[in-house]
Amino acid sequence: MCKTIVFSLTFDNILLFMKQTDVLIIGSGIAGLSYALKLAEHSDKTDVPIKITLLTKKELKVSNTSYAQGGIASVTNRIDNFEKHIEDTLNAGAYLNNRSVVEMVVKQAPERIKDLLHWGTRFDKKNPKEFDLAKEGGHSEARILHYKDLTGAEIERALTEQVKAHPNIEILEYHFALDLITEHHFGKKITRETPDKHCYGIYALNTQNGEIITIASKITLLATGGIGQVYETTTNPEIATGDGIAMAYRAKAIIKDMEFVQFHPTAFYSPKKENPAFLVSEAVRGFGGILRNHSGEDFMFRYDKRGSLAPRDIVARAIDNEMKKSGKKHVWLDVTHTNLEKFKAHFPTIYEKCIENGIDIGKDNIPVRPAAHYLCGGISVDKNGETTIKHLLASGETACTGLHGANRLASNSLLEALVFSHQAYLKSVTELPKISLRNDLPHWNVEGTKDAEENVLIEETKNEIQSIMSNYVGIVRTNERLNRAANRLKLIYEESEALYKRSKISQSLIELRNMRSVAYLIIKQAQQRKENIGLHYNKDLENQ
């Protein structure tokens, strides 16, 4: 076993701690939790136990995972086969996917579903032997395993129960990862091209008492999830500020495909701003729901022969176009013709949301509009979840694995996280014996940071970023809009760096810096993409 707290010192009333662990996991969604469990179960069978530390910025269950509704895609019956799931994934991704990654993920899916069942996850069944499979956009077969419309919450429940029960996993809630420690912290210049750079651990802030901890680790897994909060309207909860991507970017890892931000076509439209926006699952369209414009037209067939069940990039763009034409803030989702009792049983949360908003789904249509939902890009990893920094792995939404290409197929994200955390676990157990912990990590530098953070200014700047991204870097882009976004962001960069340099560290301040980096990467990579493909659509490229 490794030691926990080694020593502490104070500087300007900020307590600085040191800690050591074999494996450090940042994030408690499906990617972080499943990796922790795999390692812990392995550790149980070995003579030298592995010390695992999992830290997360709020409570364990606060994650995008907890919000997942539709379910998890896997081939589980004889009507379906791997080739169909592979082809659907490639087709949705505009064939920009890495085919061998797609094959690996699709073929591992049934085994990873068994892992979830082993950890106690429940999925709805239509009889004792068969899962109740749902269909979603872009899928040629019904292959989505689900637990009502609460699949993510059910997975999170099962996994957090297991993790809490495991003695080898130390859980640090309300611990916010600030930065990765690399050769840079020992005064060595490293660049994105430097081949031999390492991650030796991280700095983290205990947000309940202000302590800053230096955590030395042999292996670090980034499982920090998505970036939805860089947009004004998003289905992602407040934790989704792209911290892992920004940390990895600062540490000189390669980040790619950031232009491929997926907008979910059907977030519930509410005249008051809801953060996060409530999702009306794509499975509702799989159940028979039809998108209609304000003239009552089933407009999707004008855009794609698959109608309301076309892949997300196509549906979101079509809705955006219909909204611009009509000048309205939403379109409608019509489920009035479906079986009400079955609807209530499959979608109890969506049904409740409608009731709360005075919508009787037997008679009324549901107002919906697109919202930022998922990032296909992220930290570039290989098939083992290894980033371009040694001993730094990434899994889940923060990683860019090559599975999704230019647009993710619905319900492939939870699956991707499970498969890549499994791969990362296999890699970790072979690498761990070869890695030594560094015991000479420098403390976090707090010099010169004396002012109390200016919360109002921080919140206002976050709002500015969200507004820039929503206005200029949304579903349909133009060169002028992208340039405008880049120019506005430059000013924000200068102002927020000045604020960072003079202020005491806080979660909110670092999130602001992280959102700024994520916004910068999306804009820059969108400017570099010279074709309209999948989720990237620039009007100025229309006739090229």
The binder of 223, among ligand FAD, ligand SIN, none, by C-beta within 5 to 8 A per type, is: ligand FAD
The binder of 26, among ligand FAD, ligand SIN, none, by C-beta within 5 to 8 A per type, is: ligand FAD
Position among 214, 236, 401, 428 found at the interface with ligand FAD (CB under 6 A):
236
Q: Is 69 an interacting residue with respect to ligand SIN (CB under 6 A)?
A: yes
Beta strands in 4-71 (DSSP E): 5-11, 14-26, 52-55
Q: Nearer Cβ to ligand FAD, position 68 or 515?
A: 68
Residues numbered 170 to 209 that lie near ligand FAD (CB under 6 A) are 176-177
Q: Is 69 an interacting residue with respect to ligand FAD (CB under 6 A)?
A: yes
Sole window of 57-65, 105-113, 332-340, 357-365 interacting with ligand FAD (rule: CB under 6 A):
57-65
What is the closest distance, in whole angstroms, from the C-beta atom of residue 429 to ligand SIN in the complex?
A: 30
Rounded-to-integer distance, Cα 403 and Cα 426, Å: 19
Residues 349, 354, 358, 361: what is their CA dihedral angle, to the nearest 10 degrees? -120
Q: By the 8 A CB rule, do 210 and 14 touch? A: yes
Is 312 an active-site residue? Answer: yes
Report the run of H or E that residue 63 belongs to, with start and end. Answer: none
Please list, in sequence order, all residues whose beta carbon lies within 8 angstroms of the beta carbon of residue 224, skipping any fewer than 6 positions away: 26, 27, 177, 242, 243, 244, 245, 247, 396, 398
How many Cβ atoms are within 10 Å of 127's Cβ, its own excluded? 7
Rounded-to-integer distance, Cα 170 and Cα 430, Å: 22
How many Cβ atoms are within 10 Å of 436's Cβ, its own excluded? 6
Q: By the 8 A CB rule, do 415 and 74 touch? A: yes
What is the closest distance, in whole angstroms, from the C-beta atom of residue 373 to ligand SIN in the complex?
A: 6
Q: Is 368 an interacting residue with respect to ligand SIN (CB under 6 A)?
A: no
Q: Which of 112, 143, 292, 312 is catalytic?
A: 312
Sheet holding 399-400, edge to edge: 255-256, 378-380, 399-400
**How many residues bind ligand FAD, per CB under 6 A?**
43
Please list, in sequence order, all residues whose beta carbon lies within 8 angstroms of the beta carbon of residue 176, skipping any fewer than 6 positions away: 57, 204, 205, 207, 243, 507, 510
| Per-residue contact string for residues 393-432; x = within reach of ligand FAD by CB under 6 A | ---xxx------------xxxx--x---------------
The binder of 239, among ligand SIN, ligand FAD, none, by C-beta within 5 to 8 A per type, is: ligand FAD
Q: By the 8 A CB rule, do 144 and 286 touch? A: yes
| Per-residue contact string for residues 363-392; x = within reach of ligand FAD by CB under 6 A | -----------x------------------
Residues numbered 264 to 303 that lie near ligand FAD (CB under 6 A) are 279
Q: Is 281 an interacting residue with respect to ligand SIN (CB under 6 A)?
A: yes
Q: Is 517 an interacting residue with respect to ligand FAD (CB under 6 A)?
A: no
Q: Is 220 an interacting residue with respect to ligand SIN (CB under 6 A)?
A: no
Give me the phi and psi of 305, to 5 degrees please: -70, -15
Q: Is 411 an interacting residue with respect to ligand SIN (CB under 6 A)?
A: yes
Query: What are the residues facing 223 on neighbouring strands?
Result: none
Q: Is 138 an interacting residue with respect to ligand FAD (CB under 6 A)?
A: no
The binder of 396, among ligand SIN, ligand FAD, none, by C-beta within 5 to 8 A per type, is: ligand FAD
| Per-residue contact string for residues 17-56; x = within reach of ligand FAD by CB under 6 A | ---------xxxxxxx----------------------xx
Please list, in sequence order, all residues whose beta carbon lies within 8 angstroms of the beta carbon of residue 344, skipping any fewer than 6 positions away: 351
Enter the tokens of residue 396.
Answer: 């889940």
Q: Is 410 an interacting residue with respect to ligand SIN (CB under 6 A)?
A: yes
Please list, in sequence order, all residues whose beta carbon lies within 8 angstroms of the beta carbon of residue 488, skipping any fewer than 6 positions away: 464, 468, 472
Q: Is 62 an interacting residue with respect to ligand FAD (CB under 6 A)?
A: yes
C-alpha triplet 52, 53, 59: angle, nearest 5°: 135
- Tokens 């069978």 appear where? 45
Rounded-to-integer distance, Cα 34 and Cα 72, Å: 15
Position among 90, 261, 283, 366 found at the interface with ligand SIN (CB under 6 A):
283
Q: Is 63 an interacting residue with respect to ligand FAD (CB under 6 A)?
A: yes
**How many residues bind ligand SIN, per CB under 6 A?**
9
Binding site for ligand SIN (CB under 6 A): 69-70, 281-283, 374, 410-411, 413
Catalytic sites, residue numbers: 312
Binding site for ligand FAD (CB under 6 A): 26-32, 55-58, 62-65, 67-72, 151-152, 176-177, 223-226, 235-236, 239, 243, 279, 374, 396-398, 411-414, 417
